[in-house]
Chain A
Amino acid sequence: MLEIKNLHAEVDGNKILRGIDLTVRPGEIHAIMGPNGSGKSTLSYVLAGKEDYEITEGSITYNGVDWEELGADERAAAGMFLAFQYPIEIPGVATMTFLKTALNAQRKARGEEEISTPDFMKLVREKAKELKVTPDMLKRPLNVGFSGGEKKRAEILQMSLLEPSLCVLDETDSGLDIDALRIVSEGVNQLRSPDRSMIVITHYQRLLDHIVPDVVHVLSKGKIVKTGGKELALELEKNGYADYVDEEAA
Chain B
Amino acid sequence: MNAPAKIQETNAEQSLNAQFDAIFAQTTQNNANQRKQAWEAFKAKGIPHRRVEEWHYTDLRSKMNDAFALASKTTPKAEALTGAGDLKTYRIAIVNGRYVPELSSNQEVTGLSVAETSGVLEAQLGTDDAMASLNQALVQGGVSIKIDANAKIQLPIEIVRYTDGSDVSSYAGTSVEIGSGAKALIIESFEGAANAAYQSNALTEVKVGDNADVHWLKLQVESQKAQHIETLSIELGAETNFQHFIYNEGSALSRAQLFLEFKGEGTHAGLRGTSLLKDSQHADITLFVNHAVPECESREYYRAVVDDKARAVFQGKIIVEQGAQKTDGQMMIKTLLLSDTAEINAKPELEIFADDVQCAHGSTTGDIDEDLLFYLMARGIPEAQARKILVLAFLSEAIEEFEEEQCVDLLEAMTRKWLHADDLVSE
Cα separation A94 to B377 with both chains bound (whole Å): 16
Q: Is the CB of B377 within 8 A of A101?
A: no
0/1 interface trace, chain A 101-142, chain B, CB 8 Å (1 if under): 111111001000000000000000000000000000000010
Asked if A209 is at the interface of the complex by the 8 Å CB criterion, the answer is no
Cα separation A92 to B390 with both chains bound (whole Å): 8
Q: Report chain A residues within 8 Å CB of B395.
A: 92
CB distance from A231 to the nearest CB of B (A): 33
Q: Is the CB of A105 within 8 A of B385?
A: yes
B427 partner, pick from A87, A94, A104, beta carbons under 8 A: A94
Q: Which of A26-34, A76-84, A174-182, A198-206 makes up part of the contact surface?
A: A76-84
Q: Is the CB of B385 within 8 A of A92?
A: no
Q: Is the CB of B378 within 8 A of A77?
A: no
Q: Is the CB of B374 within 8 A of A51?
A: yes
0/1 interface trace, chain B 245-283, chain A, CB 8 Å (1 if under): 000000000000000000000000000000000000000
Asked if A93 is at the interface of the complex by the 8 Å CB criterion, the answer is yes
On whether A73 and B424 interact (CB within 8 A), knowing A91-B393, A92-B394, the answer reads no
B contact patch SS: helix
Q: Is the CB of B379 within 8 A of A102?
A: yes
15 more CB-based (< 8 A) A-B contacts, given A73-B382, A92-B392, A102-B381: A48-B374, A71-B377, A73-B383, A73-B386, A84-B378, A90-B376, A92-B393, A92-B394, A92-B396, A92-B397, A93-B389, A96-B427, A105-B380, A105-B381, A141-B393
List B residues at the A interface (Cβ < 8 Å).
370-372, 374-383, 385-386, 389-390, 392-397, 400, 424-427
Q: Is the CB of B372 within 8 A of A162?
A: no
Cα separation A67 to B184 with both chains bound (whole Å): 58
Cα separation A210 to B187 with both chains bound (whole Å): 58
CB distance from A91 to the nearest CB of B (A): 6
B377 partner, pick from A73, A81, A100, A158, beta carbons under 8 A: A73
A76 partner, pick from B370, B372, B378, beta carbons under 8 A: B378
CB distance from A109 to the nearest CB of B (A): 7
Q: Name A72's closest neighbour in chain B (CB-CB).
A: B377
Q: Report chain B residues within 8 Å CB of A97.
A: 425-427
Q: Name B379's closest neighbour in chain A (CB-CB).
A: A102
Asked if A149 is at the interface of the complex by the 8 Å CB criterion, the answer is no
CB distance from A79 to the nearest CB of B (A): 10
Q: Name A107's closest neighbour in chain B (CB-CB).
A: B380
Q: Report chain B residues within 8 Å CB of A48.
A: 374, 378
How many residues belonging to A are interface residues under a CB distance threshold of 8 Å? Answer: 35
Q: Is the CB of B426 within 8 A of A102?
A: no
Cα separation A97 to B266 with both chains bound (whole Å): 39
Q: Name A161's closest neighbour in chain B (CB-CB).
A: B379
B379 partner, pick from A51, A92, A158, beta carbons under 8 A: A158
CB distance from B86 to the nearest CB of A (A): 22
Q: Is the CB of A101 within 8 A of B378?
A: no
Asked if A49 is at the interface of the complex by the 8 Å CB criterion, the answer is yes
Cα separation A97 to B389 with both chains bound (whole Å): 10
Q: Name B426's closest neighbour in chain A (CB-CB).
A: A97
Cα separation A93 to B392 with both chains bound (whole Å): 8
List A residues at the B interface (Cβ < 8 Å).
48-51, 71-73, 75-77, 80-82, 84, 87-88, 90-94, 96-98, 100-106, 109, 141, 158, 162
Q: Report chain A residues within 8 Å CB of B370.
A: 51
A50 partner, pick from B374, B381, B425, B427, beta carbons under 8 A: B374
Cα separation A71 to B378 with both chains bound (whole Å): 9
Q: Is the CB of A162 within 8 A of B380?
A: yes
Of the candidates A48, A50, A71, A87, the one having the most CB atoms from chain B within 10 angstroms of its own CB is A50
Of the candidates A76, A91, A93, the one having the most CB atoms from chain B within 10 angstroms of its own CB is A93
Cα separation A81 to B393 with both chains bound (whole Å): 23
Q: Report chain B residues within 8 Å CB of A92.
A: 392-397, 400
Q: Report chain A residues within 8 Å CB of B380.
A: 73, 76-77, 102-103, 105-106, 109, 162
A73 partner, pick from B381, B394, B396, B425, beta carbons under 8 A: B381
Ordered by A's residue number, 12 sampled pairs between the chains whose C-beta atoms are within 8 Å are A72-B374, A73-B380, A84-B375, A87-B375, A90-B372, A90-B376, A91-B393, A97-B425, A97-B427, A98-B376, A101-B381, A105-B381
CB distance from B176 to the nearest CB of A (A): 32
Q: Report chain B residues within 8 Å CB of A71.
A: 377, 382-383
Closest 5 CB pairs of A and B: A92-B393, A76-B380, A106-B380, A102-B379, A72-B377
Q: Is the CB of B425 within 8 A of A100?
A: yes
Q: Report chain B residues within 8 Å CB of A96.
A: 427
Cα separation A81 to B378 with both chains bound (whole Å): 7
Q: Is the CB of B427 within 8 A of A76?
A: no
Q: Is the CB of B427 within 8 A of A101?
A: no
Cα separation A103 to B376 with both chains bound (whole Å): 11
Cα separation A141 to B383 with both chains bound (whole Å): 20
Q: Name A114's closest neighbour in chain B (CB-CB).
A: B425
On whether A49 and B378 interact (CB within 8 A), knowing A73-B383, A101-B425, the answer reads yes
Cα separation A162 to B381 with both chains bound (whole Å): 12
Cα separation A89 to B180 with both chains bound (whole Å): 43
Q: Is the CB of B375 within 8 A of A76?
A: no
Q: Report chain B residues within 8 Å CB of A141.
A: 393
Q: Report chain A residues within 8 Å CB of B392.
A: 92
Q: Report chain B residues within 8 Å CB of A105.
A: 379-382, 385
CB distance from B225 to the nearest CB of A (A): 32
Q: Report chain A residues within 8 Å CB of B424.
A: 101
CB distance from B151 to the nearest CB of A (A): 35
Q: Name A48's closest neighbour in chain B (CB-CB).
A: B378
Q: Is the CB of B379 within 8 A of A88?
A: no
Cα separation A77 to B377 with both chains bound (whole Å): 10
Cα separation A80 to B374 with both chains bound (whole Å): 14
Of the candidates A92, A94, A96, the one having the most CB atoms from chain B within 10 angstroms of its own CB is A92
Cα separation A102 to B386 with both chains bound (whole Å): 10
Q: Is the CB of A162 within 8 A of B379?
A: yes
Cα separation A76 to B400 with both chains bound (whole Å): 31
Q: Name A101's closest neighbour in chain B (CB-CB).
A: B425
On whether A91 and B397 interact (CB within 8 A), knowing A71-B383, A105-B382, the answer reads yes
Cα separation A51 to B386 with both chains bound (whole Å): 15
Cα separation A102 to B425 with both chains bound (whole Å): 10
Cα separation A109 to B393 with both chains bound (whole Å): 23
